[in-house]
Structure formats: C-alpha cells, structure tokens
C-alpha cells in the first residue's frame, strides 16, 4: 500500500538532481576563497617574520618590511571611522526614528542607495576635487580618510537603519505611551537594543575600508614614505596601495614579498570579519526577546 509509485520515483530523482546542482554551486562558491587563501599562505607565508611586520622597506622596496604601510592603514581606517560613524549613525537615527515618510525622505533614501553604488574610483576623484584641492587639505591622511568616509557612509547608514528597524515597534510604543520623548526612547530603548547590529556594520566597514585602494591613491597614499605618520596632515603608505605598487610598479621585488603583503592584508580583513561575526553571535545570545 505504501510502496513507491513510478511517479514518486520520478519526483525523487528530480529532487536528488536539484540537490546535487545546488551542492555543486555551493562548492563553486568556496573554491576561489580556498585557492586565494591557500596560494597566499604557500607563496607569501615564508615572507612573514617579525622583521617583515616591524621594519620599513629598504633598497627600493626589494628588502625590509611593511611597517609604515601597516601603521598608515590603521591611521586611515581610524580617521575614516571617526568621520563616518558619527555622521552615519546620526543620519540613520534621523531617517529611522524622526523623518516622516514623505517625498524628501524617500529621495534621501534613494540618494543613499545610489551613493553606495558609486564606483570607488569616482569617490577618489571626488576626494581629490573636494578635499585635496577645494578645501586645500592637500594629499594627506585626512583627505584620504574623508574620501574613504564618504565612500563608506551609505553602508554605515543602511546597516544602522536596518538594526534600528529590527527593534520591535512595540518597544517604542511602550515608551511613548509612558510619556517618553523620541530622544528618551532612542537613548533608553532603541540604541541599547540595536547597538550590536550597528557595531557589526561598523566592523564590516573597517574590513572594507582596509582593502580599498582607489580612494586613497590620489588623496593621501604614497608609494614610499620613510617615516611613520605623525599627524593627519602627513602622507602615508597603506597596505592596499603598497600591494598595488609592488605588484605593478616596483621592479626586482621578490615574489615572496608581494604575496606576503597580500597575505597580511587579507589576514587583517578576515580577522575583522571574524571579530564582527563573533561579536554578533555573542550579542545575539544576549538578546532576550
């Protein structure tokens, strides 16, 4: 009575086929990641040493390490965050908690999405025009970081707005009904319950900012600076630009060095992503609704 009919068998065959196709697609997805990381570890791994990480390059970059680039990247990312996070979070708070749903708000939202889609080289040219030339900051960490900030702003806004909107409306209503103002509601209920999502978005932005090359190329990154940056008005080396330079401009650089730089860069990015994921898992565990 319960034996499979030919129709059952046919359905089952199709379902197995579908499953196999989806599985192959998933494998295809992770293969490039494994190949990239594997190549970098094998070919760049031997280059990694204390000296590599903590000394400046020597002899037209053919020897020495990457210290100025590492430090420069940290400066660029930190200054960019200092600029983009306050602006982005404030804008997201306005759009999510205050703005009425009207034509202006919808236009702003559309503009943010479009800003996120602008290619990074266009941001770079904007940075040159606006920060380096118009505001006369000159090619410097500040100009490069502001360019990075403009580029990351839409993502910060969107990530923040999504975490704000994930806070149940019922919490807000509960507050308003006890006579809380919008700001009191935001400070006591909305922000404490969305901060994990906001921070996750910010950390992901850090990893993206770390890897960007185009926006800093004309605005503040230099191929070679012998000293470490002392203020935001200095030019600086940066990991991503250093890699680009080694791979395309410099001559006689040992292959191992180039791969080593790439390995360090990808390690920073992956570490940032891992921190962000761990953080999100931890904070999600803390949530009680």
Partner 1 sequence: MDSGARGDHAIETRGLNLWYGDFQALYDVDLTVKRGIITSMIGPSGCGKTTMLRTCNRIIERLGYVRTTGSVYVLGHDIFGDDVELVQVRKQIGMVFQRPNPLPISIRDNVLFGFKLHEARLRRVSAAEEDEVLESSLRQVLLWDTVKDRLDKPATGLSLEEQQKLCIARLLPVKPAVLLMDEPCSALDPAGTEAVEELIWKLRGDYTILIVTHNMAQARRASDECVFMLLGRIIEHGRTEELFLAPEHSETSDYIEGRYG
Count of residues that interact with partner 1, criterion CB under 8 A: 22
Near partner 1 by CB under 8 A: residue from 184, 211, 223, 279:
184
Q: Residue 43 or residue 280: which is nearer to partner 1 going by CB? A: 280
Of residues 101, 227, 230, 252, which one binds partner 1 by CB under 8 A? 101
Tell me the C-alpha distance between 243 and 107, whole Å: 39
C-alpha distances out from residue 206 to 78, 88, 161, 209, Å: 8, 14, 18, 5
Q: Which of 28, 178 has the CB closer to partner 1? A: 178
Q: Is 285 in the site for partner 1 (CB under 8 A)?
A: no
Half-sphere exposure of residue 228: CA atoms within 13 angstroms, side-chain side: 11
Q: E strands, the chain, where? A: 57-58, 63-64
Running DSSP on this structure, what letter comes out for residue 46?
A: G
- The correct pick among 39, 181, 271, 277 for binding partner 1 (CB under 8 A) is 181
Q: Is 30 in the site for partner 1 (CB under 8 A)?
A: no
Angle, alpha carbons 202-208-214 (nearest 5°): 135
If one counts every other C-beta atom within 10 angstroms of the C-beta of residue 118, the result is: 13
Residue 103, interface with partner 1 (CB under 8 A)? Answer: no
HEC string of 96-163?
HHHCCCCHHHHHHHHHHHHHHHCCHHHHHHHHHHHHHHHCCCCCCHHHHHHHHHHHHHHHHHHHHHHH
Q: What are the residues whose beta carbons fall under 8 Å from the beta carbon of 29, sequence distance 6 or more?
A: none
283: contact with partner 1 by CB under 8 A? no
Which residue from 177, 231, 248, 251 is in contact with partner 1, where contact means CB under 8 A? 177
| Contact range with partner 1 by CB under 8 A, out of 57-65, 164-172, 213-221, 261-269 | 164-172
Binding of residue 273 to partner 1 (CB under 8 A): no
Q: How far is the CB of 176 from partner 1 (least distance, A)?
A: 6
State which of positions 187-206 bind partner 1 (CB under 8 A).
188-189, 193
Residue with smaller CB distance to partner 1, 43 or 182:
182
Among 5, 28, 59, 100, which residue sits at the site for partner 1 (rule: CB under 8 A)? 100
- Which of 55/184 has CB closer to partner 1? 184
Nearer to partner 1, 42 or 104 (CB): 104
Q: Which of 71, 180, 191, 247 binds partner 1 (CB under 8 A)?
A: 180
Distance CA 162, CA 160 (A): 5
Q: Report the Cα–Cα distance between both ends of the chain, in Å, rounded.
A: 47
Q: In the complex, which residues of this chain contact partner 1 (CB under 8 A)?
A: 100-102, 168, 170-171, 173-181, 184, 188-189, 193, 287-289
């Amino acid at each position: 009575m319960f034996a499979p009919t030919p129709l059952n068998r046919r359905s089952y065959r199709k379902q197995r086929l579908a499953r196999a196709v989806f599985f192959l697609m998933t494998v295809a997805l992770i293969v490039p990641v494994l190949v990239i990381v594997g190549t970098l570890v094998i070919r760049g791994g031997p280059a990694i040493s204390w000296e590599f990480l903590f000394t400046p390059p020597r002899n037209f970059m053919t020897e020495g390490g990457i210290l100025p680039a590492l430090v420069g990247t940290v400066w660029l990312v930190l200054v960019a965050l200092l600029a983009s996070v306050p602006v982005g979070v404030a804008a997201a708070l306005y759009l999510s908690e205050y703005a009425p749903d009207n034509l202006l708000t919808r236009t702003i939202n559309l503009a943010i999405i479009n800003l996120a889609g602008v290619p990074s080289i266009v941001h770079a040219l904007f940075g040159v025009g606006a920060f380096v030339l118009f505001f006369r900051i000159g090619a410097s960490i500040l100009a490069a970081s502001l360019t990075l900030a403009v580029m990351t702003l839409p993502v910060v806004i969107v990530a923040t707005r999504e975490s704000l909107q994930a806070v149940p409306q019922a919490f807000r209503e509960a507050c308003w009904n006890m006579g809380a103002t919008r700001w009191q509601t935001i400070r006591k209920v909305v922000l404490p319950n969305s901060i994990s999502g906001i921070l996750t978005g910010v950390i992901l932005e850090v990893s993206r900012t770390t890897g960007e090359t185009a926006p800093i190329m004309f605005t503040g990154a230099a191929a070679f600076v012998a000293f470490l940056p002392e203020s935001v008005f200095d030019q600086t080396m940066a990991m991503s630009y250093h890699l680009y330079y080694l791979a395309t401009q410099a001559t006689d650089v040992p292959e191992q060095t180039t791969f080593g730089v790439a390995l360090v860069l990808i390690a920073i990015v992956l570490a940032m992503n891992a921190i962000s994921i761990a953080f999100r898992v931890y904070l999600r565990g803390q949530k009680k609704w």
